[in-house]
Structure 1
Amino acid sequence: MILEAIEKYYTWALIAILLVNFTQRKIPRTEKKRFATIYLAAILLVFEVGVVTILSRELNHNLAWLLLAVCVGLFYIFRKKALPFRLRCVECNSKLDFNHIIGHDDNLCPDCYAKAHPEEAASEAAKKPKAAVVVDESVPMVVPDTVGEIDWDSWEAKEVCVITYLFDGDQVLLIDKKTGMGSGLVNAPGGHIEIAETATEAAIREFKEETDLEIHDPKLVGKLNFQFKDGLSERGYVFFAHSYSGEPKETEEARPFWCPVADIPYDRMWEDDLYWLPLALEGKKFEGSFIFDDQKMLDKLVTIEEDDQE
């Protein structure tokens, strides 16, 4: 009777596993857990085939215990691949919701993931639709002249972008910006984060678009917050890269050129670069907040991880 019941309800168990697998497809960073459901379904299929064989050939039902032992053995062998699911965050031990239990391979709660991957968390936040705000256009937006007058903890950027510096020995690749914001100035390749990509992916893509170079393994080194007097607000993530392939080529957006790090032309760049780029070159993680009126910097605040201020 027990084997008949198992054979009867097997289909429902398989459907449940497949429904979990379909749900996982809608959740980011779920490759390991999606494969885990496949492993579980495969082990369940082995057990079902054995049960059907025992019943159809009228074998001794005690063989089901051997079959069960084989399946348990398979589960033990593939336990790391078949059971990556956790009920609690591996960092803070807080309870995970259903989506984070069956998805999100890192088994981190949203807060812990944001701390571990700040650039990805920012790009995901940028994709979320903002609540509609009714603005009286007859009343001009007032932007203060000093960073101290802005609550940067609650400040939100309308645009999120990346900027990437590529190093080759004692040289760094810069560009003469030909189009868009900052045209006419010297900068590093960069641009906006697109929907469905991380900041790291955006850094690689934008670098390719502006220089025709493929950079490898860019590392996040700092964050920039820009508030412009005309109302534009922008957050930038700064990356450093030390490996690449290809040769730099001039594109419609930029003319790339190699420059000795000691001779970076700060006088031809955005004013804020002078206050954070030297810190980054020293290996310090930083965050900078700036007020700009067009291309003129009105005020600045740059902090580093040790809480020193510049």
Structure 2
Amino acid sequence: MIEKFNDVYIWILFIILLINMSQRRIKGTYYKSKAIIYIALLSLLTYLGVIIIDVKELSGWFIIVPIVISIIIGIIFRNKIWPFRLHCKKCKKRLSYEYIIGHDDCLCQDCHELEHPEEKAERERKEREKANRENPELLQTSFMEAEKIDDINWDLWEPTDRCVITFTQENNKILFIEKKRGLGEGYYNAPGGHIELEETASEAAIRETKEETGLDIKEPKLMGTIYFQFKHKDIRELGYVFTSYGAEGELKECEEARPFWIDKDKIPYENMWEDDVLWLPGMLEGKKFEAYFLLDDRKLVDHKVIWLSEE
């Protein structure tokens, strides 16, 4: 009988170890972790009694004595030794393994998260991160549901398109276009467009200005970077903002744009994207910047503009 008890004791220790390791991953499991330690000590006490019986060469039936003693101690200190419950103390729902061995409040997941919303938010965040690791495209499309700039992880954000915007200045005037089609149709803006493969942003600025206005510019200077995220649309644009001084050639209208010069102090912000007024005045003063904009179609939802100090 003693040999059988030895085998049982080894299995008890193994189970206690597994439970203890599981508890370490569960927040709010202080008292239940201590209870497992108390149970391990009671098991050890029982085992010591068995060893004494074996050394004294007493009858195997004497094993009952240390077992009974351990049971009596367990009953006396039952509140500390056995805080575990099989059912939620609030809604009586049967508890899962995690909530039986962990979470000292003895509540089911639904009731526990009602009382601890921060843990629910943390669990949902981890679930999203896991899903995003398994499906990177899901992460990118999830940004469409953002309500504010800080909802977006800009370190993981990837644009669907890279583009340039170039503000050419000459004689206190700025070169503008009226967009005739595509994104921003009807709005006034500076010449710009997509960056082609194997083309630098600076090269794209020169090419797009030529294509949309007929003018040649030289040495465009990078002044800012803009991150555009659209709600409910899979559009994520990374824009590079350039300035240049002076242009050669004659204005020519194309299918996409009608070019024109406008006085620097008469910029028609009322007929431009809402974000322009937040950064264009400072940029024209020579300030470099980085900006983040969340848009719902043409409506600006949220923004963040960071002005960069000159190196």
Structure exhibiting the larger radius of gyration computed from Cα positions: 2
Contact residue 211 and residue 256 of structure 1 kept, 8 A: yes
**In 1, Cα distance between equivalents of 2:253 and 2:292:** 31
Contact residue 211 and residue 250 of structure 1 kept, 8 A: yes
Q: CA deviation at 1:243?
A: 2.2
What is aligned with 1:205? Answer: 207
Query: Given the alignment of the two structures, is residue 295 of structure 1 paired with residue 301 of structure 2, yes or no?
Result: no
Question: Aligned pair count?
Answer: 175
The 1:134/1:284 distance shift into structure 2, 3 A limit, reads closer
Q: CA deviation at 1:143?
A: 2.1
The one-letter code of the counterpart of 2:161 is E
What is aligned with 1:44? Answer: none
- TM-score, normalised to structure 1, is 0.54
What is aligned with 1:276? Answer: 279
The 1:200/1:299 distance shift into structure 2, 3 A limit, reads same
- TM-score, normalised to structure 2, is 0.53
Contact residue 143 and residue 231 of structure 1 kept, 8 A: no
The one-letter code of the counterpart of 2:278 is Y
What is aligned with 2:269? Answer: 266
The one-letter code of the counterpart of 1:296 is K
Alignment deviations for residues 134-159 of structure 1 (CA, whole Å, 9 cap, x no partner)? 767xx987521211111222221111
Aligned pair partner of 2:162 in 151, 155, 160: 160
Query: Given the alignment of the two structures, is residue 256 of structure 1 paired with residue 252 of structure 2, yes or no?
Result: no
Contact residue 217 and residue 243 of structure 1 kept, 8 A: no
Alignment deviations for residues 69-103 of structure 1 (CA, whole Å, 9 cap, x no partner)? xxxxxxxxxxxxxxxxxxxxxxxxxxxxxxxxxxx
The 1:183/1:283 distance shift into structure 2, 3 A limit, reads same
The 1:240/1:133 distance shift into structure 2, 3 A limit, reads same
**In 1, Cα distance between equivalents of 2:286 and 2:248:** 24
- Give unpaired runs (5+ residues) of structure 1: 1-130
Please state whether the residue corresponding to 2:281 is helix, strand or coil: helix
The 1:142/1:166 distance shift into structure 2, 3 A limit, reads closer
- Give unpaired runs (5+ residues) of structure 2: 1-132
Q: Hey, which of these two has a bigger chunk of helix by percent?
A: 2
Alignment deviations for residues 233-283 of structure 1 (CA, whole Å, 9 cap, x no partner)? 100000001022101111111111110010100010001100010110111
RMSD after superposition? 2.2
| Aligned positions of 1:1-310 closer than 5 A | 142-229=144-231, 230-306=233-309
The one-letter code of the counterpart of 2:294 is I
Q: CA deviation at 1:302?
A: 0.2
The 1:251/1:134 distance shift into structure 2, 3 A limit, reads same
Alignment deviations for residues 11-52 of structure 1 (CA, whole Å, 9 cap, x no partner)? xxxxxxxxxxxxxxxxxxxxxxxxxxxxxxxxxxxxxxxxxx
Please state whether the residue corresponding to 1:156 is helix, strand or coil: coil
Contact residue 207 and residue 214 of structure 1 kept, 8 A: yes
**In 1, Cα distance between equivalents of 2:134 and 2:249:** 44
Contact residue 210 and residue 250 of structure 1 kept, 8 A: yes
Please state whether the residue corresponding to 2:259 is helix, strand or coil: strand
The 1:185/1:305 distance shift into structure 2, 3 A limit, reads same
Q: CA deviation at 1:231?
A: 2.5
**In 2, Cα distance between equivalents of 1:135 and 1:163:** 27
Alignment deviations for residues 99-147 of structure 1 (CA, whole Å, 9 cap, x no partner)? xxxxxxxxxxxxxxxxxxxxxxxxxxxxxxxx995767xx987521211
Q: CA deviation at 1:168?
A: 0.6
The 1:227/1:167 distance shift into structure 2, 3 A limit, reads same
